[in-house]
Structure 1
Amino acid sequence: MKKLINAPDQVVPDALRGLAAAHPELAVDVEARTVVRRDAPRIGKVGLVSGGGTGHEPLHAGFVGFGMLDAACPGEIFTSPVPDQMASASQAVDGGAGVLHIVKNYTGDVLNFRLAAELCEDAGVEVRQVVVDDDVAVTDSLYTAGRRGTGATLFVEKLAGALAESGAPLDQVAATARRVNESSRSFGVALTACTTPAKGSPTFDLPADQLELGIGIHGEPGRERRTMMTAAEIAEVSLDAVLADLPPGGPVLVLVNGMGGTPLQELYILCAEVDRILRARGVPIARYLVGDYVTSLDMAGCSLTLCRADDALLRLWDAPVQTPALRWGR
């Protein structure tokens, strides 16, 4: 294992110290493991809080800022944060309008956010929870009951974040977040396994001439293994899975996401194939986002996420955002 780390058990605090140095607009508490907008709480604004195990950067801490999250709770690598973290972050961003918890559908995250919501309610903070479960690859995986939460988390955080920034009330922000999740579907592909610092070796065995279709963001097994495929073939298989489950409707937002170890050049090659296939199938494309956004450490691979988006959702997508990892229009 060759990684830019000091010690395996110090990866998360060391990374948080670096985040704090690079982004003084964020209030990073290394000991409490919270990342909060420095201007929080905003009186009268719904607070958005998300989090989960680290190793998926820039998700979630990289999306804290104007137009997206008000706070993030980073856990250990691939491990849920604890309820006290989530409750502390929620109370720090509560401006009197309530707090929305955005939770990826992994058993530990769902349970701990539920306990955190109870702590918040005891402290007088009104909380709503939206669970993201967009992955069409498998159901009831090693980490979940039901579908896993993956790339659509970014869409939920961006679109609900823009609505909250406009001053919308808690129930409306929560309803929009649920609608975005219900309108989104994802599918992931691994070319290599990832290596966690604690383990020091790949998390699963994947021969050099094979790929894994339908993996999760922790390297969970997918639907099947096949001999290595071209970008065009990967796009075809992924879109077949996504479109078979995607609700019918209008144009789509498209996330061509890298898993952490894939060059941007290859993601654009994949994007070209996705564009060709969607146009051939008559699927109107509203916007693209290409890059590493919901990753799995150093895994080589990709995921595709499509979200049906009407004019209202597109306005929220185009609304200004200013975070470490996503920024435009301001």
Structure 2
Amino acid sequence: MKKIINQPEAVVDEMLAGLVFTHGNIVKRLNGSGVIVSQALQKNKVGLVSGGGSGHEPAHAGFVGKGMLSAAVCGPVFTSPTPDQVLEAIQVADQGAGVLLIIKNYSGDVMNFEMAQELAEMEDIQVATIIVDDDIAVEDSTYTAGKRGVAGTVLVHKILGAAADQGASLSEIKALADGIVPNIKTLGVALSGATAPEVGHPGFTLGEDELEFGVGIHGEPGYRKEKIMSSKELAKEIVSKLKEAFEWQAGDEFGLLVNGLGSTPLMEQYIFMNDVKALLAADDLKMTFKKVGDYMTAIDMAGLSLTMVKLNEPEWLGYLNHSVSTIAW
């Protein structure tokens, strides 16, 4: 294992210390904990809290700031934060208008965030939740019952964050979340596994000439292994699965997010986006929002994912384009 670290058990603490030192104008760290808080909290605005295990950087702390998350809770690598940590984030994010929790669909996250919600409600804090389950690869897998939450979660942060920034109420943001989440779908492909620092070896291995469609962001199994193929062939497989899931028609409007999983160069991500564009243009889709880069990674996994959001309402595009001040957007 080759990594630029000190002690494996200290990686999250030292990462967060470096993050806050670098970006102290945007975020702060709560009491030396795993909670990263926006420096731009505003009274009487709904707070947004997300989080989960570390190892997905820049998610989730990279999306804390004006216009996106109020706070992010960073657990150990690939492990949910505790209910007490989530409660701390809720308490600091509550500025008098309540808090919405954005939860990726993993068993530990769902259980611990919902326990924190119950604890917060005992303190008379209004809390609502949305569970993101955008991964269409498999219905059930390691860590999860039902579809997993992956890179589409970042678009949920962006859209809901914009609505909160513009003064929407908790009930309005909850309704927006309920509308947008079913219209966000993701599918990924891995070329190699991820190595968690405390484990010291990849969570799974692929041959030099192999790739796997549908691998999850913790290395959960996908749905098919194949021999290595061109970007155009990858795009054809992934777009065909998304087309089947959305059942899109000519003229439908979409936003696109090509997300690197940790070790895929931007050069390759842009090549893939170009191939996706050709396929979607052939189906006469409107592509009015585009984003490429590492937003929801799996430590050092090689591969990428494509997220599509069907823009059913005009304001959704406005929310995606709303100006923010965060580390990673």
Same fold (TM over 0.5): yes
Query: Counterpart in 2 of 1:68?
Result: 68
CA contact (8 A) 2:104 2:148 kept: yes
The answer as to 2:317 corresponding to 1:314 is: yes
CA positional deviation for 1:2? 0.8
1:302 counterpart residue number: 304
Question: Is the contact made by 2:40 and 2:65 (CA closer than 8 Å) also made in structure 1?
Answer: no
1:252-273 Cα shifts (integer Å, max 9, x gaps): 0100110000000000000100
Query: Which residue of the partner structure matches residue 93 of structure 1?
Result: 93
Partner of 1:18: 18
* 2:279 match: secondary structure: helix
- Secondary structure, aligned partner of 1:49: strand
2:280 aligns to what?
Answer: 278
1:100-249 to 2 correspondence within 5 Å? 100-246=100-246, 248=248
Alignment pair present for 1:324 and 2:327: yes
Instruction: Give the TM-score normalised by structure 1.
Output: 0.97
Equivalent pairs, count: 325
Task: Say which is worse superposed, 150-159 or 31-40, in terms of deviation.
Answer: 31-40
Contact 1:45 1:164 in 2 (8 A): yes
Counterpart in 1 of 2:37?
36
Between the aligned partners of 1:176 and 1:29, the Cα distance in structure 2 is 29
AA matched with 2:314: D
Which letter does structure 2 place at the counterpart of 1:288?
K
| C-alpha separation in 1, matches of 2:188 and 2:73 | 24
Task: Output the TM-score relative to the length of structure 2.
Answer: 0.97
Structure 1 residue 248: Cα displacement? 4.0
Shift in Å, 1:179: 1.6
Q: Is the 8 A contact 1:183 1:247 kept in 2?
A: no
Corresponding letter in the other structure for 1:31: G
CA distance in 1, matches of 2:32, 2:9: 14
Which sections of structure 1, spanning at least 5 residues, go unmatched?
Answer: none
Aligned-residue identity in percent: 45
Describe the superposition over 1:90-144 as per-residue Cα deviations: whole angstroms up to 9, x where unpaired.
1101111100000000000000000000010011110000000010000111111
Q: In the TM superposition, what whole-angstrom CA distance separates every residue of 1:17-63 from its partner, at most 9, and x where no partner exists?
A: 001101112111363210001233x2110000000001001110000
Deviates more, 1:171-180 or 1:129-138: 171-180
Q: What SS does the aligned partner of 2:81 have? A: coil
Opposite residue 112 of structure 2, the aligned amino acid is: N
Q: Which amino acid aligns with 1:304?
A: L
Conserved in 2, the CA contact under 8 Å of 1:155 and 1:180? no
The 1:247/1:64 distance shift into structure 2, 3 A limit, reads farther
Q: Is the 8 A contact 1:138 1:223 kept in 2?
A: yes
> Residues of 1 paired with 2:91 and 2:40: CA distance?
14
Following the alignment from structure 1 to structure 2, what is the Cα–Cα distance between the partners of residues 32 and 192?
Answer: 32
Q: In structure 2, give the amino acid aligned to 1:195.
A: T
1:230-275, CA deviations, whole angstroms, 9 ceiling, x for partnerless residues?
1001111111111211264731010011000000000000010000
The residue identity in structure 1 corresponding to 2:3 is K
Output the CA distance in 2 between the equivalents of 1:225 and 1:30: 45
- Find the counterpart in structure 1 of residue 295 from structure 2: 293
> What do residues 202-234 of structure 1 show as CA deviations (whole Å, max 9, x unaligned)?
111211110010110011110010000110011
Counterpart residue number, 2:258: 256
Q: Distance in 1 between matches of 2:326 and 2:247?
A: 30
SS class of match (2:185): strand
Letter of the 1:289 partner, please give it: K
The 8 Å contact of residues 260 and 296 in structure 1, kept in 2 or not, is answered as: yes
The separation in 1 between residues aligned to 2:174 and 2:247, in whole angstroms, is 20
